[in-house]
Chain A
Amino acid sequence: MSQDTQTAVLEIDGLRRAFGGLVAVNDLGFSVGQGEIMGLLGPNGSGKTTALNLISGVLRPDAGTIRLMGQNIAGLASYRIARLGLARTFQLVRVLDGMDCRENIKAGLAFQKPHLPVAEAELRIDTLLHRVGLAGHDRRPAADLTYIDRKRLELARALAAGPRLLLLDEWLAGLNPSELAIGIDLIRSLKADGITIVLVEHVMAAVRALCDRCIVMSSGRKIAEGATADVLSDAAVVKAYLGGVATDA
């Protein structure tokens, strides 16, 4: 886990964003090394989704730098950031309801440069459908999918771009225990492929199983950072979560 020896995939410094008087992200800084899974934790409303929105270009930061593989992307249009190798999923699942599963995944890869040859693109779509567990659902309209399958499809679309950095916003929320186990294995396999991941998650079992390091936010500020086990037993963190959740296995 030594970041110093390699360039960080994501490096954030002094990031700030306010909505009126509410400072949703306040002087946030952290860095994520190649192939690492970084957990982004914190109670409801602590600014996790806002941080992801700033990184992916949905929102413009008021201040701060965001470096993606060395390049400052703060304030860049989100389509440019996407083309630089960043992909994400959304806390409220977003799939293209009027299209079938194939087209949903195709949307993820069709606009990346250089463009893939058609045969190769089709092959990648097949592989992804299989990988997220949607094999055979090719022509099924996204609107007909169950909640969990919509989540799978959204992840497949994000992966279609072949991202270097993947932002997952509570992708494991709302899964039953067996689905959760499958989901954890899937994310672990992404790490094995060398994809760097920032994982916003409330499911502590998943955080323990997946994250190399974590940072914890509270009211827009970072209140803890370090190896997952250390952070989860940190007194300040436990207090931020009001006792219960963080120690819950």
Chain B
Amino acid sequence: MSARIAGFSALALAALALLAFVPRLGNAYYLALAISLLQYTVLATAWGMFSGPTRYVSLATTAFFGVGAYTVAVLGEILPWPLVLLTAAALGAIVAGIVGLSTLRLSGVYFVIFTFGLTELIRQLVVWFEVNKSRVLGRYVFVNITQADIYWQLLALTAAVFLLGWLIARSRLGFALRVIGEDETVAKHCGINTTFAKVALFTISATVMTLVGAIMAPRWTYIEPSIAFNSMISFQVLIMALLGGAHRLWGPVLGAVPLTLLFELLSARFPNTFTIILGCIFLLIVYMLPRGVAGLFEKLSTRTSGKTAQRVAA
């Protein structure tokens, strides 16, 4: 077991080292694409960390992404960059904590609707604040961050998210979340403080999403609420995580990579009908792959191992 872990870590480190060289290729298009890939990989993985085991479907991804981006727009020129990121993470965690405590008692469809409404609420709050208090509707982002810097930060965050997810999955908290996902009543009778467990994981997941927003913000030179709080992100991340399979840590990335490439292609070719196509893809995924690509792999691998077992028995 520990040999397997060692082997896997070596492989992961090698992949990381290799990926770190992408900006050195000197191709702006590939770098931009690689940034998109990492962005959605982190967002979908963070989404799956909470929604996978609990089966609570959140549409709040955009809300946290936007909080991160807006923190940069406001503080980017005032504070040193690491402090800006830290502030963004703290804000994201606080918002997530409050939202979690007030909504995670809701179940099923109410939670979905609330998280969707939350994005709109935060966006309107920002608009109101900017118009009435700071008297601007958009802000220029002047920070000294290059595309390569963005890429490397996202890469580091990707590594951190996978490490964190792996640690949580092995922890008592991770097990608690799985029990909650199976049956919340049983979870409570097993002595699990279900509210705490859900809020804790929701907060961790949201903090990561906020960081993605903050790291991505310098990509725009001008930010306004409709850019930072673009609700399409929530839907895209949801579709990616479901396609990949949110019940596994490595599931969402299997959806994020192909769909980012596909979305990139579609939004360039069919800018007007893009959302309709997105909707159709979503329906297809839910219908054809209820447990995602990860579920498909598991099915295939149990089928083949079942065959070998039969062969051994024969």
Contacts and interface: CB of A to CB of B under 8 A. Distances in A.
Interface stretch (B2-10, B26-34, B178-186): B178-186
Contacts of A113: 191
Contacts of B183: 94, 96
- List 8 tightest A-B contacts by C-beta distance, closest first: A111-B191, A96-B182, A82-B191, A78-B188, A83-B191, A79-B188, A107-B179, A107-B190
B140 interface: no
B191 A77 contact: no
Contact of A79 (B178, B181, B192): B192
Given A99-B178, A161-B191, A107 B172 contact: no
A221 B183 CA distance: 31
Contact of B172 (A87, A88, A108, A111): A111
Contact of B189 (A88, A95, A98): A88
A94 B175 CA distance: 18
B33 to A, nearest CB: 37
Interface residues of B, number: 18
B193 interface: yes
Contacts of A79: 187-194
A111 B192 CA distance: 6
Interface of B: 172, 175-176, 178-179, 181-183, 185-194
A94 B186 contact: yes
A106 B183 CA distance: 15
A58 B183 CA distance: 13
Contacts of A111: 172, 176, 190-192
Q: How large is the interface on A (under 10, 10 to 19, 20 to 34, 35 or more residues)?
A: 20 to 34
A31 interface: no
Interface of A: 56-58, 77-79, 82-83, 87-88, 90, 94-99, 106-108, 110-113, 115, 157, 161
A203 to B, nearest CB: 24
B48 to A, nearest CB: 16
27 contacts: A58-B185, A77-B188, A78-B189, A79-B187, A79-B189, A87-B189, A90-B185, A94-B183, A94-B185, A95-B186, A96-B179, A96-B183, A97-B182, A98-B178, A98-B181, A98-B182, A99-B182, A107-B179, A110-B172, A110-B176, A111-B191, A112-B191, A113-B191, A115-B172, A157-B190, A161-B190, A161-B191
Most buried by B among A79, A87, A98, A110: A79
Given A58-B185, A78-B185, A78-B188, 8 more contacts: A79-B187, A79-B191, A94-B186, A96-B182, A96-B186, A107-B179, A110-B175, A111-B192
A79 B194 CA distance: 8
Given A99-B178, A107-B179, A82 B190 contact: yes
B278 to A, nearest CB: 30
A82 B178 CA distance: 18
A77 B189 CA distance: 10
B189 A82 contact: yes
Nearest to A89: B189
A103 to B, nearest CB: 8
Contacts of A95: 186
Given A110-B172, A110-B175, A111-B176, A82 B188 contact: yes
Contacts of A108: 190
Contacts of A56: 189
Contacts of B192: 79, 111
A78 B186 CA distance: 10
A161 B181 CA distance: 20
A57 B179 CA distance: 18
A197 to B, nearest CB: 16
B305 to A, nearest CB: 13
A55 to B, nearest CB: 12
B175 A107 contact: yes
A77 B193 CA distance: 9
Most buried by A among B179, B193, B194: B179
A88 B178 CA distance: 20
Most buried by B among A78, A83, A88, A161: A78
Most buried by A among B175, B188, B192, B193: B188
A79 B195 CA distance: 10
Contacts of A106: 175
